[in-house]
Amino acid sequence: MSDVITSCPSQCEESREKVAGHPHHPSTVNPCCYFPCLHKGVCVRFDLDKYECDCTRTGYYGRNCSIPEFWTRVREFLRPSPTFYHYILTRFKWFWDIINETFIRDTIVKLVLTVRSNLIPSPPTYNSAYGYISWEAYANVSYFTRVLPPVPDDCPTPMGTKGKLQLPDAASLVETFLKRQQFIPDPQGTNLMFSFFAQHFTHQFFKTYGRMGRGFIKGFGHGVDLSHVYGDTLERQYTLRLFKDGKMKYQIINGDMYPPTVADAPIHMIYPTSVPKEKMFAMGQEVFGLLPGLMMYATIWLREHNRVCDVLVKEHPTWDDEQLFQTTRLILIGETIKIIIEDYVQHLSGYFLKLKFDPELLFGVQFQYRNRIAVEFNQLYHWHPLMPDSFIILGQEYDYSNFLYNSSILTDYGVEALVESFTKQISGKIGGGRNLHPRLLHIATGVIEESRKLRLQSFNEYRKRFSLKAYTSFQDFTGETEVASQLESLYGDIDALEFYPGLLLEKTHPNSIFGESMIEIGAPFSLKGLMGNPICSPEYWKPSTFGGETGFNIVKTASIKKLVCLNVKKCPNVAFHVPESTEENDIFSDAKTSDEL
């Protein structure tokens, strides 16, 4: 190797020695396989064995972007660790109760939004076809973007130069480390109301288009556009619309509004052939017939759309159907973002600081109102450990075989009963491993196999990209010995641990649903996607966009409780966390384990 390579950090020397011991390593290793460029520096290869690190605007300089500039030293000295500020934000409730009533709250929320969002490159940089800056990577929105380029395809090992020549079998990995032995409830009290909201919400932008190959997204929506309500094509939208007063098609069952059947709105939906056509709901997302919880949310948003249309018709009797529909859609997009930040993210964070959806907080800072969904965000958001062993509705237990594709559960019980029951039933803990229901193992296996085809960089490389310290050992990573030893025997090196297994197996924060990396990597994607929505821009964020002050106030006062209670006859108990003590939870704790199903 040239003297250029020998000047990279000490870990490169160590990995070179290991690579040289492999029987099939190339005579000249691509120097970028060592990931020598630190602190977001970009590795550019010259000749066969030479490289340069582009350290522009990283705050560092030197051959490997390892030497901090003066102000970088100051910032790093003053910057608290993620563990420290998580500790502060999740304790001292009396202190945060005071802060939440002052202007300081706005200052802190603004800081959180800008610091988190700035971690996501905008405009996007790479995709699965281009591991370098290119116009195609920017302009071709049919791809998921990505934060880190792929591992070069000529590296000696799947993770670059670290670890073994072959990664462990994905199915065996999932079976050993992720399969549930006994249900582990979330210590934060997350419930099924949250779990189904997460599934419903994310299906508007996590739409892998397998027919085109890995790394492609179906449709062109890269954010909160409510395509899961209205459809991801104009043809699907038109088929679902009533074309009267801006409303969507619906049917009435037992005096309540539900989505139309596929007979009344002939769109493609995924149902088994055993489901009668009169039981097939037509909804914006083709997979929502899978779970009654997804159908429940589709019903709630349908009712909300038509309810808001009625409000706008009274306010604007001269408006035509198209303007009523389009304005209502903008209002529901605003409601969604408000609920996500102030109810959903607030619960997940565990913070005593009250988060706030106020786009005006960012009007005075540089911010781009465009978002692209990254493949890393798509991978990260596979939170299937949330799903329980069975589902309890008004004391009646349903296993997976009786719950899946069963629209009768929604229509027979009604929205109120499902909301009440899902609010009371606790979800599973996501982080820490060994909490994935056996029926869902194939999903995790698919995620890992997809990450390998897309050549995602290692878990530690992503930690470094998001300003976290790389783990030095598997024991440091897991916080215990047994699993750490097993992982080391499979991967050989902590720097070879894969992204998704790393997120799910990382030691969790005390009394938390998952570990540090899920929070620190996931939050920037989430907040950039939410606040980067066009409705949050100065051009859009004003009353006229939403049909006047009445529509604007619908957005600014939205909550998960209001969303449900304005669209049912009797307001049920509704939240994203379980109450302190519930009869359903008592029943649930005695329910069958996964081994008995």
CA gyration radius, the chain: 25
Residues annotated as part of the active site: 203, 381
- For residue 268 the two structure tokens come to 């493609």
* CA–CA separation, 373 and 556 (whole Å): 26
Check if the beta carbon of residue 117 is closer than 8 Å to that of residue 524: yes
Three-class SS state of 391: strand
* CA–CA separation, 424 and 578 (whole Å): 5
To which H or E segment does residue 258 belong?
strand 256-258
* CA–CA separation, 549 and 237 (whole Å): 27
To which H or E segment does residue 450 belong?
helix 441-453
Three-class SS state of 381: coil
> What DSSP string describes 72-140?
HHHHHHHPPPHHHHHHHHTS-HHHHHHHTTSTHHHHHHHHHHHHHHTTS-SS--EESS-SS--HHHHH-
- For residue 521 the two structure tokens come to 């990597």
* CA–CA separation, 594 and 508 (whole Å): 23
Using alpha carbons only, give the angle 42, 43, 46 rounded to the nearest 5 degrees.
140
* CA–CA separation, 47 and 54 (whole Å): 16
- For residue 416 the two structure tokens come to 């109120």
* Residue burial 188-208, b: 16+ Cβ < 10 Å; e: rest: bbbbbbbbbbbbbbbbbbbbb
Kindly tell me the burial class for residue 111, based on how many C-beta atoms sit within 10 Å of its own C-beta (0-12, 13-18, 19 or more): exposed
* CA–CA separation, 529 and 514 (whole Å): 21
* CA–CA separation, 78 and 284 (whole Å): 48
**CA 247 to each of CA 200, 264, 306, 339, 499: distance values in angstroms, whole numbers, following the listed order:** 21, 15, 5, 22, 43
* 98: Cβ contacts below 8 Å, ≥ 6 apart: none
For residue 65, which phi and psi values (nearest 5 degrees)? 55, 45
DSSP annotation of 260:
P
* 482: Cβ contacts below 8 Å, ≥ 6 apart: none
- For residue 48 the two structure tokens come to 């066969």
Check if the beta carbon of residue 491 is closer than 8 Å to that of residue 448: no
* CA–CA separation, 551 and 304 (whole Å): 13
* CA–CA separation, 547 and 527 (whole Å): 26
Kindly tell me the burial class for residue 550, based on how many C-beta atoms sit within 10 Å of its own C-beta (0-12, 13-18, 19 or more): middle
